[in-house]
Each structure stands twice: as C-alpha cells, then as structure tokens.
Homo-oligomer: A and B are copies of this chain.
Amino acid sequence: MAVTTTGEGRRDRRKRQTRATLSTTALRMVAEHGLDHVTVDEISEAAGVSPRTFFNYFTSKDEAVIGDAVVDEERLVARLAAVGAEVPAVATLRTAFAELVEDVQADRELWCLRMRVVERNPALLSRLVTIGVRNERTITAAVAARLGLPEDHDYPALVAAVTGAALRTCLGQWARGDGARPLTTLVDEAFAALAAGLPEPRTARDPSQPPALSDPGGLSHNQS
C-alpha cells in the first residue's frame, strides 16, 4: 500500500537471495571437493532448500556453478552500433566488450574462483564455451550487418570466434594471476596483438618487455 519497498516486492527479493545462495554454495563446494564429488542433494541441503527447488532455479548442476555468464544481446548490439563505422571491427568489439570486462572485474573474487574451478573441471568449461558460442552467433550477425556483408560470409564468423577466444584466454590468464594485472589491460594487449597479426614477442634472451605489444594504449582505453 504505502511503499512497495523497491517495486520489487519481498518475494522477488527472497528469490534473488535463494538463487544467489544456491549458486555460491554450489561454486564453493565444487571448488573444494570437485564437481563429481558433490551432489545436487548436498548443495541444496547446504543452501537450505529441497533438491526439487534447486532445479526450479537451475536447469543443471553445471549452470548453478557457472552462473549466468550470458551477455545481454541487446546491449552488445547497441554497443557495436554506437561505434563509428570507420573504426575497424576488432577495435569495435574491444570497446563492445568493455562493459562485460568491467562487470567481471568488479566481482574479482567470484570470477577468479569460478575460473579456477572451470580449469579443474573440463566439463564445466564446455558449458562455459557453449554460452560463449551462443554469444558468438549474436556477434557474428551484428558484425555482418555492420559491414554490410552477407550473413554467411566467412569474415564475421571468424572475427567473432577469434575475439571470443581471445577474451576467454584473457579471463584465464587473469584468474591464474589472481587478478593482479587488471583484466582490461590484458584484453587491450590481446586485442592489440590480434590487430597486429599476432606478431611474436621478443624472446627471453632479448632484454625487452614481456607483453606482445609495447604500446597497448594505441587502442582506445577510455570507457564509453
């Protein structure tokens, strides 16, 4: 009557809470005992709900562990459209990913653990990549439209797949380093390397910089 709290209602809030609890407990338990040494029953019990309820929130055990790492299609497309047509596709995608990257970085703790768990359980990686591929299709279509290329042209698909792969490895490296180096930097470097045709870095015996490109700033580093 008087106030609707946040227009969300207590019920919805509780749902969000339950979902979050379920997800994080799943992640933690799997991180500790391994994916196939933790049952849904155990997770649910630890989260204080029935196993049946677990499946009301997630369609699979994997999904609970991985979380909803799905990119918002509309947003992504909007981002792509927002960049001037004269900017090359790779650079455009990098800025389009900026938002996602920052989200991940904001939840550093969570994502580091998540990536580590994924690394130990290839089955989860599959699930993660599957999501990535779904996004890939969106990106492919968007890039094709942007460049005025036919839907089935090789180029958009290639760019989408390749940038996606780059992003994935950055995520991995970032988590492996426990988030010490900012993810944004890693992504910048990777995309710069891509745009430069993957030149080989100088070898160890050559006293130089570690990264592939000495000038990552060459690519847009400002946000939005």
> Which residues of A pack against B, CB within 8 Å?
88-90, 122-123, 125-127, 129-130, 133-134, 147-150, 152-155, 157-159, 161-162, 164-166, 168-169, 172-173, 176, 186, 189-190, 193-201, 203-206, 210-212
Further contacts, 15 of them, CB under 8 A, given A125-B133, A158-B166, A195-B198: A125-B129, A125-B130, A126-B130, A149-B201, A149-B203, A152-B173, A153-B210, A154-B173, A154-B186, A154-B189, A155-B212, A158-B193, A158-B212, A161-B168, A162-B162
A95 vs chain B, min Cβ distance (A):
15
| A198 and chain B: residue at smallest CB distance | B90
Copies of this protein in the complex: 2
Q: In the docked arrangement, what's the CA distance between A131 and B212, Å?
A: 27
Q: In the docked arrangement, what's the CA distance between A70 and B43, Å?
A: 34
| Top 4 closest pairs, chain A to chain B, by CB | A126-B126, A165-B165, A161-B165, A197-B197
Q: Are B155 and A200 neighbours in the complex by a CB distance under 8 Å?
A: yes
Q: Are B161 and A200 neighbours in the complex by a CB distance under 8 Å?
A: no
A201 vs chain B, min Cβ distance (A):
5
Q: Are B161 and A204 neighbours in the complex by a CB distance under 8 Å?
A: no
User: A134 to chain B: which residues have CB within 8 Å?
Assistant: 122
Most buried by B among A127, A134, A162: A162
| A160 and chain B: residue at smallest CB distance | B169
User: A196 to chain B: which residues have CB within 8 Å?
Assistant: 197
Q: Are A89 and B147 neighbours in the complex by a CB distance under 8 Å?
A: no
A139 vs chain B, min Cβ distance (A):
12
Q: Which of B133, B152, B165, B203 contacts A148 (CB 8 A)?
A: B203
A184 vs chain B, min Cβ distance (A):
14
A198-B162 CB under 8 A given contacts A122-B134, A148-B203, A153-B210: yes
User: A123 to chain B: which residues have CB within 8 Å?
Assistant: 126, 130
A148-B206 CB under 8 A given contacts A125-B133, A130-B125, A157-B172: yes
A114 vs chain B, min Cβ distance (A):
16
User: A147 to chain B: which residues have CB within 8 Å?
Assistant: 200-201, 203
